[in-house]
Amino acid sequence: MPYRTEVINQGTGILRYGSGILTGAEMIASARANKAAEIDWTRISHFVLDLTEVTRFDVSASDIDQLVSAAKKNSDILAEVHHLAIAAPSDVAYGMSRMFQAYQALPDLVIQVFRGRAEADAWLQSVLEVPKS
């Protein structure tokens, strides 16, 4: 599966990363499954979305709308999540990530989009006291 989820930073963060061809349907299914995941959401303060290994980002504007809607429906479990760093090197992934950033519906969530993972991690380090994994 080209889209996976890991708990990182001693249980305080979520890493979602894609590889190969990544579709909007895969991202939406993952977002909708958040509540069913065996994750202690009360400890999660940040997300990293790593798209650096994605070879084709097959996500539409409609998919972005559905991702925003899924985030809104998950707002109860995402209440403590205040930072999302997205690493999106391709122009399409970067543009769609910026669209998600503009449309996101969680008022306490700060989203930053970067071209590389190192920049995304550096930003998170600057805004959080993130324990090293």
Looking at this protein, which amino acid is placed at residue 15?
Answer: L
Q: Which pLDDT tens digits describe the chain residue by residue (133 residues)?
A: 588 999 999 999 999 999 999 999 999 999 999 888 889 999 999 999 999 999 999 999 999 999 999 999 999 998 899 999 999 999 999 999 999 999 987 888 999 999 999 999 999 999 986 555 5
Cβ-based neighbour number of residue 75 at 10 Å: 14
Prediction pTM value:
0.92
At the top level of CATH, which class does the domain 3-127 belong to? alpha beta
Q: What is the residue extent of each domain of the chain?
A: 3-127
